[in-house]
Each structure stands twice: as C-alpha cells, then as structure tokens.
Amino acid sequence: MQQYFEGDKTESLETFSIPSENNGVRADIFLSKILNISRSKAQTLIQKKEILLNSLPLEKYGIALKTGDKLTLKLQAKPLKDSTPQDFNIPILYEDEEILILNKPTNLLVHRTNPQDLQFTLVDYLKDKGFKLSNLGDSYRLGIVHRLDKNTSGAIVIAKNNATHANLSKQIKERQMGRYYLCVINQPLKESKIVDFPIMRHPKHRLKYITTTTNHPTAKTAKTAFFAISTHCDSKLPTQNLALIGAKLFTGRTHQIRVHLNAINRHILGDGFYGYKGSYTGRILLHAHFLHLLHPKTQESLEFYAPIPKDMQDFLCEHFNLSRYQNTQNPHTIQIPLSKIYQG
C-alpha cells in the first residue's frame, strides 16, 4: 500500500523566534542546539536552502542572530515508502455529515510532525477508510482539530469540512469544548487544584516540554484542573500510594497534563518520559474519557463518553473501588461522570 502526501511540493514549516538570551549567537550554533543536531548537519540544512531567516533564505552559516529574528525550518514532504497494511477498526462514538468522534486506541500517532516520518497515523487510517476530511492545515493533519499523544487513548473529534473545522477550533479557543481525562498517578493529590503554568519546549530535549515563567518569549499559556476520584485500595502494590484522578483541559498544549503533573511532583503510571519510576511497566494510564461540544451546524450540546480500554479498566478495577461507577447498561464496564465530579 503506497501512501503519499497530497502533491509533490507540500512543505512542513517550523518557526523559531530568537529569544534575548540568544542575541548574537551564530545561526548554525542556534540551529544545532534547538534541533538537537550536529553543527555540520545544521550547516547542511543552510546549504540546501532549508532554513529561512525572516522569510528569506539563510545564506551564511555564521550570521549573528538578533532578538526577535524568525528562523524557519522548511522540509519538503516526500512520498512515504510502502507501509504495512493496517487491518483494524477504530470505534466510532458518533458520526454525521459534519463531525466524526472516535475512541482512539493507544499506540497510534494522530498525525506526523515530520514529513519523512514513516509511522502509520490516525490521519492515514481516516484516508484509507475514505472519510471526508477538512484540509485547513497541512496535508498530514487532515481533519485534525485537536490531538492526543500517541500513547493516550480516548475521545477525539474529527472535522469533515473546513467550516466545521473552523467552528470547532473556535470552540476550543473560547473554551466551549470540554475535554476530560482519567489518569492514575503515583501519589494522591492533597486537594483538587488548578495548575496554571505556561509551557515551553525543553531547551535541551526537543521532544520534551517544561513549565516556565510567563515572561519567557517561547512560553504558551496552559491551564489544567486536577481532581480526585479514588485512592489506592488493595495490597497488590503495597509500596505504591496510587490515586485515580480526573483532569480537565482549559488549553490544549502538547503533553500538557503530563507536564503540569510533573510540575507538582506527580507522575502518571507508565510515563517514564516525564519521570515515573515505579514498578508498573504497562502502557501510560491516561485516557480521554469525556468530551462535550456544540454541534457546529445545529448548535446542539453533545456529550460523548469514550469507553475505557480493557487493559486500563482491568487495572482500575483491580486497584481501586469503582463499583459505584459501573455502567448500568453494561455492568462489565465503568463510566465515570467527570464533568459532574468537577464542575469548575
């Protein structure tokens, strides 16, 4: 099965604004640090005209950057190699002519961020299945209004046309769309709390994010509410004081829940990337359980629960007392009313 981006000239653009502390730094040195590549590789990118400085091709390796300069990395999307056929179906929670709501499985990337990335993505799946998709963004983000991390499961909304995409994006910006998550953390919260720390890319590890101060030039506002659901109640993991909590997103930054928990010295089980060091070795226990939005055409208020994957549900039922959350229509599943538990 051959997969291609639409057109041969599609480009991926990533722009970096030069902060004051890098004023006067050589362009090749700045690129090597921010991209976590060798200096010679950075020089090769410049030589191949893959780097723009303030929208114009960067001509010299050693040009001194100034505060506020814009460096843009331009990578041309190439046809993807043959990929292994993907024979699976993702549960549909709702579908009409405007939107598609899915229960995304774990270990599935929503979209690629690098045009040369060969991983099979949710966008590839949607295209293979023939769904209509909006195309407001890049060709490898078709239909994607918001994202879930690769190893996070749960509810995700897909836009089928551009008007719907714009409407849903506005709902996220104006906080009309509600996104609630379940996660298991390595120690209980002392109380429900809102974490309102800006987030930026880690200066040394480009795949990682950290909290920062509001006056940092690359900081983006980020706000998450965390609230308790249940605490650890069995003796099978006696050395661990676990807690099942809910999280409500007010913004949608990359890794936001994981970064904000790390900032208050809490870690999601299975998330070694952000500091979990316990004995649990399974998937990250983070699931987008509940989503509400206004229908982009009718303005009807819609609510969707994404069933918890069996592996995560088995863990929850083994280590927490959740009998009061059993689904009355299906006693073998649990459904936790997150928006009722946290009404802020």
Tokens representing 158 are 């897909």
**Tokens matching residue 237:** 């993991």
Q: Respond yes or no: is residue 149 known to be catalytic.
A: yes
Burial class of 18 by CB neighbour count within 10 A (0 to 12, 13 to 18, 19+): buried
Closest CA to 43 of 61, 25, 19: 61
The active-site residue, picked from 149, 234, 271, 314, is 149
CA 94 to CA 103: how far, in whole Å?
A: 10
Determine the Cα angle at 47 with ends 45 and 51, to 5°.
50
Where does the chain show beta strands of DSSP type E? 11-17, 51-53, 56-57, 70-76, 92-95, 99-104, 153-159, 178-185, 193-195, 199-201, 209-211, 224-231, 243-249, 286-294, 301-305
Check if the beta carbon of residue 201 is closer than 8 Å to that of residue 209.
yes
Which residues are part of the catalytic machinery?
Answer: 149
